[in-house]
Structure formats: structure tokens, C-alpha cells
Amino acid sequence: MDRKVLLVTGGAGFIGSNFVLEGVRRGHKVVNLDALTYAGNLDNLASIEGNPAHLFVRGSILDGALISSLLTAHQPDAIVHFAAESHVDRSIVGPAAFVQTNVTGTFTLLDAALQHWRSLPVIKRDTFRFHHVSTDEVYGSLGPHEPAFHEETPYRPNSPYAASKAASDHLVRAYFHTYGLPVVTTNCSNNYGPYQFPEKLIPLMIHNAVEGKALPVYGDGQNVRDWLYVADHCDAIFTVIERGRLGETYNIGGLNEQKNLDVVNILCTILDELCAQGAPHSRLITFVKDRPGHDRRYAIDCTKLQSELGWVPKESFRSGIRKTVEWYLENAKWVEKVVSGQYRDWIGENYGSRT
């Protein structure tokens, strides 16, 4: 991809910061807009502090005037939209924030992007892109033998989070079909890797295991997810920005279906090897009451992305999960800084009543 100017929303979060780091590494200029809520962390970007290829702006995607000013000032070649409330459990406790950020925020961003795009000279309009990053959770739940989600799978969201992301997907589609805004959407499976906030399954289990705390597994632990290493996800997004067809959706999967309980046991085995103190870590596994509306299985069919654009994930689950455990063990200070009092309050609120 030629050097581009990218406006990235949510670029201090987990996937967003990995994308920003990779974008700068590839030689692009990145304007990074993030509100720095609990999941946003500038420490994720410490390695590019002071780099002129990265400009951080603290602000919200609900601020249309700010977005318009950034578009005018920096004339980006693409908007890459990661900013979202993304944790299912938090959406169950407080859905309003998810509607506000994921629906109203996406609308605000789309509207500013449309006005900017219309102001561009024709040659710039032809190359401009609005890339919307979404999730496989919009498709609902699969049975154990049902075929994987594909781009034509009907939407059946089962949580407030999934419903808010489905709404944002529909808005993005509508801005393409109604106004011609050059959009592409990607729906990805569960991500894992460096800089993931430790409320999500994999970093939570690593952190708790190292601390000698219980490893809370919902229900019977047989819920299935397709796991995508975050670097592979970022690579797929760059591929779609460069060569994806306008108005299209591309599903991004890791081709790694795993039961939650199996994931936890794999983590325990790796930790037994790398952090022998406390072994066997599997003794810490504790089954807790399942969360409401817990989808049983997700699986992604990414044939379209593979056949049209030639993308395939580089990491297997075994290679990616080992890299992830090693990163968290090597970055204990990062973990300690993000595990604040607010985080501890949330863990107590979410898991305390389930034990």
C-alpha cells in the first residue's frame, strides 16, 4: 500500500492501538482519535511517542465539530473506525453507553465523513475509504453443526452490544447505498494478543492465574469461539482498505474454533511451563453462573476474503496464544497499571454474584 494518511478512531484501545502501531511501522501517517475511556491506554502507544508519523487527539466520535476539523486539517485518505464499547458483560449491566457510542457515535462519524468526502476533488473522492470495523456477534449464535457465518448470514444479535454493532453496520451500509459514501465493513471473530484489556477471557485468565486467583469460566465452558490473533486482524484490514470492493462486507476469521474451557486449559498448560510457581494452574478453574443471552458458538467463514483478496491468517491458535502469554508475562508493569481500582470494582460486580 502506498503511504497514506489514516484517521483512526479508538486507536488507543486493544485492536486500534495494534493497528496504529502497524500503520506507523508500514510508513503511514496516523491521526489517532480516542476518548481514553477505561479501555483506552496511551501506554499501548509508548513505542511511537514523539514519532511525527503519529498524532494523538483526545476526543469523542460524538463530537462532530472535532471530527470535521480533523478531516479538514489532515485530509486523510481513509477513516478506520474502531471506536466502540465492546464488552458484552458491560452492555448487559449498562446498555445506554453502547447505544450512544456504537450507534450515535458511528452516525456522527459517518455524517462528518460524508460532508468531507463531498468536498473533495474527484480524484481524491475516488480513492477515499471509510472502513468500519465490526464483529461476528451481529450474526447471533450457531448450533454445534451449523455452517460458519458468512457475509450473507442474517443478523440475529442477542446482546445489547451485538445489537448496537448491528445497528452501526446498517448505518454504514445505508450511507453507501443512499449517498455513495465509499465504505467497506469487516466483521471479525474474537481477537486476542498484546494490549488487550484484562476483562476479556484470555488476558483475564492469564492475570488471574499469575495472581493465584480463581479462573472464572461461564456455565459449562463449552461455548465455542473462533480466535483471531490481533496482528492477523490488522493485516486483513490493511488488505481490505487497499483492495476491497466498495460497499462490501468481508468476514475476518482466525480459522481457530475453540471451546472456552479448552482455551483456559491451554493457557494453564503454557503457564505451567513458563511460570512454574503455582502449577498446576488448572486447579484454579472455577465454574460460575452463565451470563444472560450467552451465545453458544461463533464461527467465521472467511472464504470471500481469501478468494477475492488473497488474505490468510499467519498465526495458528497454538502459536498465537503462546506469543500472547509470553507478552503478558514480559509486560507485568503494563498489566498492573491498567488493573486499577475501577477495574477491580467491575470484576467484583460482574463475577461476584456468579460464584
Q: Kindly report, residue by residue over 171-183, the tens digit of the pLDDT.
A: 999 999 999 999 9
Residue 73 has pLDDT above 60, yes or no: yes
What's the confidence (pLDDT) of residue 346?
47
Q: Is residue 214 part of a domain?
A: no
Residue 354 has pLDDT above 70, yes or no: no
Q: Is residue 117 within 8 Å of 45, Cβ to Cβ?
A: no
- DSSP-derived pairing of the beta strands 224-229 and 257-259: antiparallel
* Joined grid coordinates for residue 29: 501517517
Mean pLDDT of the chain: 94
Q: Is residue 219 part of a domain?
A: no
Residue 159 has pLDDT above 90, yes or no: yes
How many whole angstroms separate alpha carbon 185 and alpha carbon 240? 9
Residue 200 has pLDDT above 80, yes or no: yes
Q: Decide: helix, strand or coil at residue 151.
A: coil
Q: Is residue 280 part of a domain?
A: no
What's the confidence (pLDDT) of residue 68?
98
What's the confidence (pLDDT) of residue 38?
80
Residue 49 has pLDDT above 80, yes or no: yes
How many Å is the Cα radius of gyration of the chain?
Answer: 20
CATH code assigned at 9:
3.40.50.720
Residue 50 has pLDDT above 50, yes or no: yes
Cis? peptide before 280, omega within 30° of 0:
yes
Angle between helices 317-330 and 201-211 (to 10 degrees): 50
Q: Kindly report, residue by residue over 309-337, the tens digit of the pLDDT.
A: 999 999 999 999 999 999 999 999 999 88
Q: Is residue 56 part of a domain?
A: yes
Q: Kindly report, residue by residue over 23-46, the tens digit of the pLDDT.
A: 999 999 999 999 998 878 999 999
Residue 352 has pLDDT above 90, yes or no: no
Q: Is residue 105 within 8 Å of 60, Cβ to Cβ?
A: yes
Q: Is residue 31 part of a domain?
A: yes
Active site residues: 136-137, 161
How many whole angstroms separate alpha carbon 96 and alpha carbon 100? 6
| Structural domains counted in the chain | 1
Q: Is residue 277 part of a domain?
A: no
Q: Is residue 101 part of a domain?
A: yes
- For residues 269-286, average pLDDT: 94
Range of the domain at 18: 5-196+228-256+296-317
